[in-house]
Chains A and B, each alone.
Chain A
Amino acid sequence: DGGITQSPKYLFRKEGQNVTLSCEQNLNHDAMYWYRQDPGQGLRLIYYSQIVNDFQKGDIAEGYSVSREKKESFPLTVTSAQKNPTAFYLCASSYRGTGNEQFFGPGTRLTVL
């Protein structure tokens, strides 16, 4: 069964700690994306990667980092530099090329205590 998995579904973090969110896909997609969702603001792009070992900053990359060592995996680290990290985080993937549908994972809800 092809799809995108994100883990964990809920994550709690103390202030000052880094935390890594997992995203795995078995759709054979080249491109992967991380979005942040806040109430009333839609989705905002954090980072994206069109190919292994390459990634670009999105609109709100400050306080986040990513890696793309494997085609299937695109983990997101929320660092202590992120001022307001409590949010719903969504990972997506697609085939390369403009206009291709992005497929979304189920999301991870991060709460900073």
Chain B
Amino acid sequence: AQSVTQLDSQVPVFEEAPVELRCNYSSSVSVYLFWYVQYPNQGLQLLLKYLSGSTLVKGINGFEAEFNKSQTSFHLRKPSVHISDTAEYFCAVIFYNQGGKLIFGQGTELSVKP
């Protein structure tokens, strides 16, 4: 079965440091890729998405992600994090042969410390 793996369940980082949250998916079929953020006890908010075109995608709140087809990865990066970035981040993938269903990774809890 096709799957999405977020390699780190928790990422602690100091304020103003750079961060990378890793995401890999299992299939070589064409994909659409998404990153969502979830603050405690809230729904999910879209950070950015890749559908086609440039492999470097910029999103809200200073986040960006790069699609690497050969490595089947879509890692999320931010050059300088703030305390307010503390949240859970989900990578999600639509595989072309899965009828449009969104498959989520397990989530990465980003904790930004002063």
A35 to B41, CA, bound (A): 15
A-B contact number at CB 8 A: 51
| A3 and chain B: residue at smallest CB distance | B43
Is A2 in contact with chain B by the CB < 8 A criterion?
no
Known A-B contacts A40-B9, A48-B101; the reply to A98 vs B106 at CB < 8 A is no
State which of B14-22, B44-52, B72-80 sits at the interface with chain A. Answer: B44-52
Contact with A along B8-46 (1 / 0, CB 8 A): 010000000000000000000000101010000111111
For residue A102, which residues in chain B have a CB less than 8 angstroms away from its CB? Answer: 102
Asked whether, in the complex, the Cβ of B101 is within 8 Å of the Cβ of A58, the reply is yes
Is A54 in contact with chain B by the CB < 8 A criterion?
no
Asked whether, in the complex, the Cβ of B9 is within 8 Å of the Cβ of A99, the reply is no
Asked whether, in the complex, the Cβ of A104 is within 8 Å of the Cβ of B94, the reply is no
Q: What 9 pairs across the A-B complex have the smallest Cβ distances?
A: A104-B43, A42-B104, A104-B44, A98-B100, A43-B104, A99-B32, A42-B106, A106-B43, A99-B51
A-contacting residues of B (Cβ < 8 Å)?
4, 9, 32, 34, 36, 41-46, 49, 51, 90, 92, 94, 96, 100-102, 104-107
13 contacts between A and B (CB under 8 A): A6-B43, A33-B102, A42-B104, A43-B90, A45-B101, A45-B102, A90-B44, A92-B44, A98-B100, A99-B51, A104-B45, A106-B42, A107-B42
B-contacting residues of A (Cβ < 8 Å)?
4, 6, 33, 35, 40-45, 48, 58, 90, 92, 97-99, 101-107, 109
